[in-house]
Chains A and B, each alone.
Chain A
Amino acid sequence: MARITAGVATSHIPAIGAAIDQGRTREPYWAPVFAGYEFSRRWIAAQQPDVVFLVYNDHASAFSLDLVPTFAIGCAERFAPADEGWGPRPVPEVQGHAELAGHIAQSLIQSDFDLTVVNRMDVDHGLTVPLSLMFGQPPAWPCRVIPFAVNVVLYPPPSGMRCFRLGHALRQAIGSFDADLKVQVWGTGGMSHQLQGPRAGLINKAFDQQFLDRLIEEPEGLAQLPHVDYMREAGSEGIELVMWLIMRGALAPRVRTVHRFYHVPASNTAVGHLILENPP
């Protein structure tokens, strides 16, 4: 049977992708950010997941306002990096896992999570920056990836609790897939940041640290946090953090924290990163 071995949470700031693509990771501004992922690169090389179920949000790349799915699962064989206005990132094409994705879609919909099935979709920095942070710059990504896009652009996104419960259903879905696969679930976006209006630049370290603590120790309580608290405390774009609760919900109630990293700033944003392992 397929099994979820670990969860990863990370910010997916586009400027990080640009720093990697342009070879600027050792510059004084960026070095502390990438230092926080050195352990992660070694860890994932040892883990060798077969599939990453990657929770992220599209930033007006694949989805315009013509179509705004709350939860969209990528069921295709492959996904191209999106052209976000300055040409696609020079990163490998993403290889999907159509069979597992289709299995998860059917299972989740039968668990009352009404997903949108997507068979053609380009993937933007929300998905490719986490891959670059964890895997560096290989000629091909070393595992399959199932993109799972959550709407956090048009208010309201799904609630934290909805995301957490979806994670539970995802655990069931992956656990019932009849193939010996090591699967990781990644939650991306955040941490505190606001990109718009006179309050742009908001960072709330205390909120972020407490979010990390509670995500590990008492995610059920954290899942009850209302949207407005994210927006008021962590900035209008800090609401992306609800996506981390899908990852946490997919893991066991008790997990082992093998890595934790936090840094301010990367461009406009606080960088947060966790690696959580399921008990064997």
Chain B
Amino acid sequence: MVAVPTLSYEDLVLDRSDTFQVHTDVYMDREVFETEIRNVFERTWVYVAHESEIPDVGDYKTSIIGRQPIIITRHEDGEVYVLLNRCRHRGAVVCREALGHSNYFRCPYHNWAYANDGSLVGMAQSHGYPDDFDKRGWGLARAPRVASYRGLVFASLSASGPSLDEHLAPVRPYVDCWFNRSPAGTVTVLPTAHKYPYPGNWKWQAENGHDGYHGNYVHESWQRVLDRAGEAPVRDIRRYRAGGCTRGFRFGHGLLERPGGLNPAASWTGRMMVKYPEYERALRAAYSEREIEEISKRRNILLFPNVYLFDTQIRVISPLAVDRTEVSLYVYALDGVPDSLNQGRYRAHERFYGPSGFGSPDDVEIFTANQTGLQARGVDWLLLSRGQHRERRLDNGEVVGHSTDEVPVRAMYREWKRLMSA
């Protein structure tokens, strides 16, 4: 019998100047997963909704933080509340819909009723409680902290820690560029989303969204489709994909960036500005040329741990078990642009993303191949060192690498290690 070495969580990420490795247990071990739920998802800022999903007073959406059921509501004071979806009496969920409109939530068990800010407004047959029963102490529990940035609503189940402003600060300039593709600087999420489950660890998806290394291999099929459609020969696509950079930030955030510019042959923004002169006018009215060039760079931005900002969608990663994950792609409209521009984006989204797209399902195949391969336990470590020797650290702590390098994934695992070791 071979003794099984016991690694502490800190030892699962090997972060040295000459190599960067992650242990198999990071993706396969149930205890690691349970600790992730506690130390990562229940402590940091987790994305829960976009404000446009609950625009009106009384609107609500249900979701999860880690694996805890929550309700995100718009109360009559106009504020967004994040409530734990659990009756304070005997624990049943008080809301079972995905999305809806109601100013009250009524527990189906004994008819306790709560306002959509969580306050307990009444219990059935209340004569069973003394006259001085203090309802104020028995409202639906609220997430200790809720904050939003430009409509992105985050919640934290921890009362302490960095503020959302501090949490997002390192990556905020890039998030702003992402929003500013809209001349109004805002987006509106559509009511239906693409969702897909996969039988694998959640971090496969977290790692892959800003991986610029896999495209020529996993998405060769997609490149051939574009070539056939006359949009670009495969060699040009590959040249484009070699450009740009990767960036890693504090708090685990990271991004993949593609070259932009105003040249319609080389940039989506450039093409849209030619196709829709009103879009060009609106952008130029709102931003300088230099700002538009920054905005035009296509970026996939991971706001660690659970949300990606993509060109067509806000992508939410929900870990369900160590080997089970759900991904939701919330497609959004860019506000203040022609309807047909957005509709073109929706059709482009369907073409690549979602359960029947020409791209996403190829990525999911890799996640399952990873999960299958890691059953071979004669090997302990995965290598995430690509580009370590050529990355640059800026004065503000941001790390920049080649577009195919594993800079953002190292940023993610540094934060993961910090949280898991705490």
Answer whether A and B are interacting partners: no
Q: B interface vs A, CB < 8 Å?
A: none
